[in-house]
Amino acid sequence: MNSENKNQNNLTQQTPGPGRDRQRLERPKDIWGTLIRILKTMSDYKLQLGIVAVLMAVSSLSSVLGTYMLRPIINDYIIPLISQSSPDLSGLIGMLLKMAGIYSAGVIGNYTASRLMVNISSGTLRKIRVGMFEHIQNLPIKYFDTRTHGEIMSHFTNDADTLREMISNSIPNLISSAIMITGVIVMMIILSWQLFLLVILQLILIFFTIKFIGSRSSSYYIKQQRELGSLNGYIEEMIEGQKVVKVFTHENKVKKIFNQKSEDLFKVASLANMFSLVIQPIFGSYSYIHYALTAAVGTIMAIHGMLDIGTIGAFLQYTRTFTQPINQMSQQINAILAALAGAERIFILMDEPVEADEGNIVLVNVEKDHNEVIVESPVHTGYWAWKDVDEKGTVTYTPLKGDMRFENVSFAYEPGNPVLKNISLYAKPGQKIAFVGSTGAGKTTITNLINRFYDVNEGKITYDGIDIKRIKKDDLRRSLSMVLQDTHLFTDTVMENIRYGNRNATDEQVIHAAKLANADFFITHLPNGYQTVLYDDGENLSQGQRQLLAIARAAVKDPPVLILDEATSSIDTRTEALIEKGMDQLMEGRTVFVIAHRLSTVRNSNAILVLEHGEIIERGDHEDLLAQKGRYYQLYTGMFELS
């Protein structure tokens, strides 16, 4: 990517896109819709979810039933035994064993449900991450040009982690707590509807407390996710650009910005957790007050013969367990809201429109039969053609030659800000076309349009006489090869990094491509030669060596059309001279588009186009343009510098 695209990308990273931060500040727009979508994602685990639901019900109801057993134990066993001098404890022991069995069943059910939820949540997150990654591969380049790396990564890290916590912990606890609360309420009403009136009073207080605190807590949790994503994105960007930071001695500035972002995260995280944590002591106070009040009223009722001791004991125990699930529910609701906000952002990503491809013309291997007629071949022949099947089923083959033409093309990344204005040009098969001009003149945009990273707003581009919009994008790009100014190398061997240009290339073809790019010499002097593993985008190589690998990667693809976007910008003059012959061999017989600031690399071009402000202001070969004594002449003689 040249500086034209870099500036555009940097501007995008510094200035958030329309509505981006606003979305993160809001509550989830469609809570139930998001929940339903999560459940659909978990459809592969229907049986396990059903088992979990049963186990959670068993766990919750066992606790309710175990508490109820206090009533017969106290009334039928403990109180009668008090007056006996030699009490028979066998009955009491039997009841205690039954109670222990009930609680044990609950413990086993809870443990098994938790283990199953770990498997369900991990599997669901794997499915979501795979879905996100696969979907990202189909998104247009514009999506990545308008978002920071950190923002996209936050969907795979922060948002996915909160969703995992919700699936594995928050939702099961919420359901379990709801079942327990329902069971406790039913048993309280059975034991004493009069004492339950005190519970209703407590419920009213709890409801208004949750409403007051929860509304504030959820908004701060969403803000916390936004600030965390912003901070992570900034950290990633600064780590990647650490050399630039040090070169321009901006350490203090980036530390100041980081401290401010950390302070912003600290503020919202503190408020989010403060509102969340304050609920527990408040509910604890409610439970103690309610316990004391229930004990006092229950004692009065027992004195007047309205209640027995066992009922009071069981009811008091229910009051102790009543606030615990409510407290858990209030805490889980906050976590669920945060997770739903993250899940909603994940689904927004997965709903992003994929790269449109209305083309129906494909690239196929061909050969000529005994009548010299082009026919499709099932094997690689080295000859290609565009295959077009019309509505009647008639098949037409157009030989792939590399004839590229722009006809009155205009384009703007953003409406009202044109980058190209009514551009017309042509490149005949085997011609070398060079673009020169100032940064932002539209040079790289032309190559983006050839690849259909973006589609033209007006006019059309034809490839061998075919409108490229009719060609499937994958097939179009298979016929092209690019060498970018910024080389990206993967964590893999040198051999595989070159083979990335053609996954079917043999080792011999890879080595031949490296020799063609004059990269073989330095590769063979690496510790393990072609099997040397590269890390961190090839940090152990020089910039020139990385660029040579990019040229070799393009060479191994053996394309009919080659695009060189500042391909030799990172190579010194001596190295450039060494690979000039190899590059000539690489470009021989191919249509080549060259973008260059170093004018010595474009002298032998068939045509040189000088662009300024999205328009072609001069065209011709090297000698013609020098004779015109215009902008190219000024550039070549040093009277005017590219910027």
* Per-domain boundaries in the chain: 30-350, 362-401, 488-557
Number of other CB atoms surrounding residue 2 within 10 Å: 19
Residue 598 has what pLDDT?
67
CB-CB contact of 463 with 403 (8 Å): yes
Residue 14 has what pLDDT?
35
- Percentage above 90 pLDDT, the chain: 27
CB-based contacts of 629-633 (< 8 A; 24+ apart in sequence):
632/436, 632/608
Average pLDDT over residues 63-76: 89
- Round to whole Å and give the CA distance between 332 and 320: 20
DSSP 8-class letter at 533: B
Task: Decide if pLDDT at 280 tops 60.
Answer: yes
DSSP 8-class letter at 86: S
Band (13; pLDDT cuts 50, 70, 90): very low
Q: Of 15-24, 217-226, 307-316, 467-476, which gets the smallest average pLDDT?
A: 15-24
Residue 411 has what pLDDT?
94
- Round to whole Å and give the CA distance between 308 and 313: 9
| Tens digit of each residue's pLDDT (9 = 90 or more) over 173-215 | 888 888 888 898 899 899 988 888 888 887 788 778 777 776 6
- The distance from CA 635 to its chain's CA centroid, rounded to whole angstroms, is 44
Structure tokens at 497: 């990094």
H or E element: which one contains 93? helix 90-137
Residue 569 has what pLDDT?
62
What is the side-by-side order of every strand in the sheet holding 480-483?
A: 480-483, 561-565, 591-595, 432-437, 607-612, 615-620
Place of tokens 């008091």: 316
Residue 429, SS3 per DSSP: coil
Residue 643 has what pLDDT?
43
| Tens digit of each residue's pLDDT (9 = 90 or more) over 113-138 | 999 998 999 999 999 999 999 999 99
Those residues with Cβ within 8 angstroms of residue 621's Cβ, 6 or more apart along the chain or in another chain: 605, 606, 607, 608
Residue 608 has what pLDDT?
92
Buried/exposed 463-473: b ≥16 CB within 10 Å, e otherwise:
bbebebbebbb
The most distant pair of C-alpha atoms in the chain lies apart, rounded to whole Å, by: 127
Nearest of 322, 314, 318, 308 to residue 71 by alpha carbon: 314
- Round to whole Å and give the CA distance between 160 and 157: 5
- H-assigned helices in 418-541: 443-450, 473-478, 494-499, 507-516, 520-524
For strands 384-389 and 362-368, give the pairing. Answer: antiparallel
Q: Of 207-216, 219-228, 245-254, 509-518, which gets the smallest average pLDDT?
A: 207-216
User: What's the burial of 21, exposed, middle or buried (CB within 10 Å: 0-12/13-18/19+)?
Assistant: middle
Residue 79 has what pLDDT?
85
Output the CA–CA distances (angstroms, integers) from residue 62 to 99, 171, 292, 399, 500, in the order listed. 9, 20, 26, 76, 60
Nearest of 485, 206, 500 to residue 333 by alpha carbon: 206
Residue 20 has what pLDDT?
35
| Tens digit of each residue's pLDDT (9 = 90 or more) over 394-437 | 899 999 999 999 999 999 998 888 999 999 999 999 899 999 88
The span from the first CA to the last CA of the chain, in angstroms, equals 16
Residue 357, SS3 per DSSP: coil
Choice between 331 and 340, residue whose per-residue pLDDT is larger:
340
Residue 9, SS3 per DSSP: helix
Residue 256 has what pLDDT?
92
State the average pLDDT for the chain.
83
Q: Hey, which CATH number is domain 30-350, 3.90.380.10, 1.10.1040.10, 1.20.1560.10, 3.20.20.140?
A: 1.20.1560.10
Residue 457 has what pLDDT?
92
Choice between 525 and 279, residue whose per-residue pLDDT is larger:
525
Place of tokens 């501007």: 11
Task: Decide if pLDDT at 112 tops 70.
Answer: yes
Task: Decide if pLDDT at 480 tops 50.
Answer: yes
Band (350; pLDDT cuts 50, 70, 90): very high
CB-CB contact of 400 with 464 (8 Å): yes
Number of other CB atoms surrounding residue 135 within 10 Å: 14
- Round to whole Å and give the CA distance between 535 and 546: 12
Band (495; pLDDT cuts 50, 70, 90): very high
Task: Decide if pLDDT at 21 tops 50.
Answer: no
Nearest of 71, 63, 70 to residue 104 by alpha carbon: 63
- Round to whole Å and give the CA distance between 22 and 476: 38
Average pLDDT over residues 461-473: 94
Residue 11 has what pLDDT?
34
Average pLDDT over residues 153-180: 87
- Round to whole Å and give the CA distance between 52 and 65: 20
Band (333; pLDDT cuts 50, 70, 90): confident
Task: Decide if pLDDT at 2 tops 60.
Answer: no
Category of 437 on φ-ψ map: left (φ > 0), alpha (ψ -120 to 50) or beta: left
Residue 590 has what pLDDT?
84
- Round to whole Å and give the CA distance between 140 and 413: 13
Task: Decide if pLDDT at 642 tops 90.
Answer: no
Band (373; pLDDT cuts 50, 70, 90): confident
For strands 561-565 and 591-595, give the pairing. Answer: parallel
- Round to whole Å and give the CA distance between 419 and 184: 69
Class of domain 488-557: alpha beta
Q: Of 87-91, 228-232, 327-331, 558-562, which gets the smallest average pLDDT?
A: 327-331
What is the total residue count of the chain?
643
CA triple 374-375-377, angle to 5 deg: 130
Strand partners, 364: 385
Buried/exposed 512-523: b ≥16 CB within 10 Å, e otherwise:
bbbbbbbbbebb
| Tens digit of each residue's pLDDT (9 = 90 or more) over 504-554 | 889 999 999 998 888 898 999 999 999 999 987 788 888 778 888 888 898
Average pLDDT over residues 378-405: 89
- Round to whole Å and give the CA distance between 151 and 149: 5
Average pLDDT over residues 619-635: 87
